[in-house]
Amino acid sequence: MSLKKDDANRWMSEEDESCIQAMLFVSTNVYHTTLNTAVELNLFEIIARAGPGAYVSPFHGLLSYSLRTLEDGRVDRLYGLTPASKFYLRSDDGSCLASIMTLFSHRAITEVRSHLKDAILEGGDQFQKVHGMSMFEYMDKDPTLNKAFNEAMAGRSTIIMKKLVETYQGFEGLASLVDVGGGTGASLNMIISKYPSIKGINFDLPHVVQNAPTYRGIEHVGGSMLVSIPKADAIMIKNVCHNWSDEHCLKILSNCYESLPKNGKVIVIDIIMAEAPELSMGSQYVARIDNSMLLLHGSKERTAREFEALCKGSGFSDFRVVCYVYSFVSAVMEFHK
């Protein structure tokens, strides 16, 4: 029997580790509820304002703590932020993951969660089956879900894009760029801020762009990516493909192909799933998002080979994985015409 040490320097067997891993998986729902409650109570902001040594109730994993012995002999725990919990703070630039918890806790989404078995056995869009319309159609009719979704995507995108614009050099030399499914334009604005000579077109559904703020160098255009896409030197699609089936992705990418000039490219920013299951934190995150996509859209995350098949199937001649941002969380791929 092989042994190894855990984080507390205790010896544990492979069976011990497997059992703990299994218990971690079954407790995910409780963890989600606890984390969402912490967000609703503004717990992370309160601790950040209070500074080191603030006292709160236990919330292991996202908070650090130290022990303090009181004069009467009792022991208190003093909690502070960890590197992970700082991603839940609302920063001036809008980067924040707390809004994702608000989105996943929205009534319209929680009502779909119990249908995961149906999604696995029957396939299809479970949101559509529960609510009688797709999630994006529902957002058009429910301002609260529309707001939660846009804030969640903007908060996550800002975190990713801050790192991406420093890592990826493929925007250099472009005269124009369309962001397909660009939401309210936050991601495109970060690109144009670094490359002001680029003419930016933020393209999304009409009810999304109608509430978009004004950005210098960016034109907001409403429409459907399933019908047609504005023309530009390059087209960016960020976290779009995992919302759609292969059939829909081929349609969207074919529309991109038609809108690009000779030697143009599509910049695809999305999760790349590992070929085989892994137990790393990145792979666990990808697996959970994969389940969410299956449940909410009847879609999936994809491996590099699956993305290459979409690339070639929609007419593009060359597929490249250029770089990664936060490991599996976001990969930058290029589809060349």
Q: Spell out the per-residue pLDDT of the chain, length 337, in tens.
A: 565 554 444 455 665 556 555 544 544 654 666 666 677 777 777 777 776 655 444 455 555 656 566 677 777 666 677 777 777 777 777 777 788 878 888 999 889 887 878 887 888 889 999 999 999 899 989 999 999 988 888 888 888 888 899 889 999 999 999 999 998 898 999 999 999 999 999 999 998 898 899 999 999 999 999 999 999 999 999 999 999 999 999 999 999 999 999 999 999 999 898 888 777 767 777 888 888 888 888 889 999 999 999 999 999 999 999 998 876 668 999 999 9
Structural contact between residues 279 and 310, judged by C-beta atoms closer than 8 angstroms: no
Q: pLDDT tens digits, residue range 96-134? A: 778 887 888 899 988 988 787 888 788 888 999 999 999
DSSP-derived secondary structure for 303-328: -HHHHHHHHHHTT-SEEEEEEEETGG
- Based on the fold, state whether residues 271 and 325 are members of the same structural domain: yes
- Based on the fold, state whether residues 94 and 183 are members of the same structural domain: yes
Report the number of distinct structural domains present in the chain.
Answer: 3
Gyration radius of the chain's alpha carbons: 22
Partners of residue 60 on adjacent β-strands: 63
Residue 33 lies in a domain: no
**Structure-token pair, residue 37:** 């409650």
- Based on the fold, state whether residues 81 and 124 are members of the same structural domain: no
- Based on the fold, state whether residues 102 and 120 are members of the same structural domain: yes
CA distance 166 to 188: 14
Residue 54 lies in a domain: yes
Residue 311 lies in a domain: yes
Residue 35 lies in a domain: no
- Based on the fold, state whether residues 76 and 169 are members of the same structural domain: no
- Based on the fold, state whether residues 65 and 5 are members of the same structural domain: no
* Ramachandran angles phi, psi of 219, nearest 5°: -105, 130
- Based on the fold, state whether residues 182 and 309 are members of the same structural domain: yes
CA distance 135 to 145: 9
pTM summary value: 0.77
Residue 140 lies in a domain: yes
- Find the helix packing angle between 28-40 and 14-26, rounded to 10°: 50
Q: For residue 292, what is the domain's CATH number?
A: 3.40.50.150
- Based on the fold, state whether residues 174 and 190 are members of the same structural domain: yes
Quote the Cα angle for 37-39-45, to 5°: 135
- Based on the fold, state whether residues 18 and 130 are members of the same structural domain: no
Active-site positions?
242
**Helical segments of the chain, H only:** 14-26, 28-40, 43-50, 98-104, 107-110, 116-122, 126-131, 135-141, 143-167, 186-194, 206-209, 246-259, 281-297, 304-313
Domain hosting residue 7, numbered range: 1-28
**Structure-token pair, residue 276:** 């085989």
**Structure-token pair, residue 5:** 């040490």
Report the sign of the C-alpha dihedral through residues 255, 256, 260, 263, in that order. Answer: negative
DSSP-derived secondary structure for 179-191: EET-TTSHHHHHH
Residue 63 lies in a domain: yes
- Based on the fold, state whether residues 92 and 81 are members of the same structural domain: no
